[in-house]
Amino acid sequence: MIKGRCECGSVQYEVDGGINDFSHCHCSQCRRLHGAAFASFGGVVRNEFSYLSGEPDLTRYASSDDHIRVFCRICGSNILVELDLEPEALYLAMGHARALTIVTATLLALWFLTGLPN
Ligand SMILES: [Zn+2]
Ligand SMILES: [Zn+2]
C-alpha cells in the first residue's frame, strides 16, 4: 500500500499495490516542471490507484503528445504522469509518497525509454 498527498493536502491518493519500476528522470521537461535536477517516478498499475480526495483540484498539462502531467491546482504539486502508450500504468511523482519502503532505480531514465527531450 502506498499513500501520498500534495503539499496543501487537498489531493490524497492510495495505491493498493506496489511500485513496478522506479526511475529518476533528468529530461528538460521534468527539470523545469519539478524545479529540480531530476524527478523521481514510481510506476504503478492504474487499476490499483485511487484518489481519496481532491479530484476537483486536479489540473492537467500535456507536456508532449503522449504525456499528461497531473498537478494540484492549489499548491502546484506534481501528482503523476499519464502516458498514452501505457494506459494500464501511472507514474507517480514520488516526492510526496508516504510509506515508501524500498525502491530501486532502473538503469534507464524515463526520457531514454520514451524519447522525452533530454
Ligand atoms: Zn495541493
Ligand atoms: Zn522527464
Ligand nearest, relative to CA of residue 77: 1
What pTM value is reported for the model? 0.83
Determine contact, residues 69/18, Cβ cutoff 8 Å: no
Determine contact, residues 7/77, Cβ cutoff 8 Å: yes
Under the banding of pLDDT at 50, 70 and 90, the label for residue 1 is confident
- Boundaries of every domain in the chain: 2-112
Ligand nearest, relative to CA of residue 118: 2
Ligand nearest, relative to CA of residue 32: 2
Topology annotation, domain 2-112: 2.170.150
End-to-end CA distance of the chain: 32
Tell me the per-residue pLDDT of 20-76, one tens digit each, with 9 for 90 and over.
Answer: 988 999 999 999 999 999 999 999 999 999 999 999 999 999 999 999 999 999 999
CA of 57 to the centre of ligand 2 (A): 23
